[in-house]
């Protein structure tokens, strides 16, 4: 009967053998902090939005045009029972969009008292960029766009960080009536 081992002892022996034969994990030499955001294209520029600023991303919904509003206000759409104003961000900046309708997306902002959908040319998805590539020095930008850009991530391609809070507090953006 001395040849019989307790199951717990067998498990301990097996664990010990596994530890002896296990290959070590590769060491990670450099740990870099990253910033995450949503990439989008607007008037030919690659832009980024902080993750907390965008509530959701939609395909361009059907909307009803509104009378006596500025040309960059496309209309209002019913999104799950809520009326969502649709604003063409390219037109707001005085640029016409060349993107196909099926590429265009609506970035929904739902902060404080502002619930609005911003129509952009294309959404590029989540972007994870090294924090050390951020710079507050901005490239040459159109004067209308400059107040809404807080910096840029430089790397393979430059991506501008768009500040939606600045847009949400801009009286020119909030005054949509003609």
Contact 122, 41 (CB under 8 A): yes
Confidence band of 87 (pLDDT split at 50, 70, 90): very high
Selected residue with higher pLDDT from 38 and 27: 38
| CATH 2.40.50.180, applies to 34-174 | yes
CA distance 134 to 127: 13
* pTM reported for the whole predicted model: 0.79
- State residue 28's pLDDT score: 66
Mean pLDDT of the chain: 90
Q: What is the pLDDT of residues 112-169, one digit of tens each?
A: 889 999 999 999 999 999 999 999 998 888 888 999 999 999 988 899 999 999 999 9
Phi, psi of 172 (to 5 degrees): -65, -35
What is the Cα–Cα distance from 35 to 149, expressed in whole angstroms? 16
* pLDDT above 80 (res 2): no
DSSP 64: B
Q: What pLDDT does 21 receive?
A: 83
Alpha helices in 85-131 (DSSP H): 89-92
Q: Report which of 123, 121, 113, 124 is spatially closest to residue 168, judged by C-alpha positions.
A: 113
pLDDT digits (tens, 9 = 90+) for 155-166: 888 999 999 999
1 pLDDT above the threshold of 60: no
* Tokens (6 digits) for 141: 């930008």
Q: What is the pLDDT of residue 24?
A: 74
Q: What is the mean pLDDT of residues 56-66?
A: 96
Q: Domain coordinates of the chain in residue numbers?
A: 34-174
């Amino acid at each position: 009967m001395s040849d019989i081992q307790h199951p717990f002892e067998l498990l301990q022996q097996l664990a010990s053998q596994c530890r002896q034969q296990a290959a070590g994990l590769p060491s990670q030499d450099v740990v870099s902090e990253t910033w995450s955001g949503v990439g989008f294209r607007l008037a030919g520029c690659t832009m980024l939005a902080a993750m907390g600023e965008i509530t959701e991303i939609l395909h361009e919904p059907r909307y009803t045009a509104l009378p006596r509003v500025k040309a960059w206000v496309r209309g209002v759409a019913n999104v799950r029972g809520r009326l969502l104003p649709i604003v063409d961000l390219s037109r707001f900046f005085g640029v016409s969009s060349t993107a196909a309708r099926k590429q265009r997306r609506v970035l929904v902002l739902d902060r404080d008292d502002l619930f609005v959908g911003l129509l952009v040319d294309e959404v590029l998805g989540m972007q994870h960029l090294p924090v050390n590539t951020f710079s507050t020095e901005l490239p040459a930008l159109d004067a209308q766009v400059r107040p809404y850009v807080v910096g840029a991530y430089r790397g393979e391609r430059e991506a501008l960080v768009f500040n939606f809070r600045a847009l949400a507090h801009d009286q020119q953006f909030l005054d949509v009536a003609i």
